[in-house]
Structure 1
Amino acid sequence: MSIEMLLLILLNLIGVFVCHSIAKSRGSRHVAFWSAMGALFGPLAIPFLLIFVRGAK
């Protein structure tokens, strides 16, 4: 496995963790959904999460 592939996998895992953490901290009922979006789209899912999930009131 090349270093580039390992880097992409690492970035994807970081995206999953960040999406999960942000969704949980903002009180989303769909934490698993946002974690899956992080797995599918990696760091590109983070801006959508920030836009579409409202903060806890």
Structure 2
Amino acid sequence: MSKSVITSYSIHYTKLYELAMMAAEGTSVLRNVYVINRGYEDLAERLNSVGAQIETFRDI
């Protein structure tokens, strides 16, 4: 997987996409992150604390 824009509506698929995006080279965009925020509080900050490079945006 490299540089992609993904929209997901299921938290289960979103977790898989997020793992794949972190392993991919380049920049990936995950839209509709409310799915993640609904189930995992401060997930981006937690993943960043162990080496991920995740930025969150209100609107792209």
By percentage of residues, which structure has more helix? 1
- TM > 0.5 between the two? no
TM-score w.r.t. the length of structure 2 is 0.31
Q: Could you say which structure has the larger radius of gyration?
A: 1
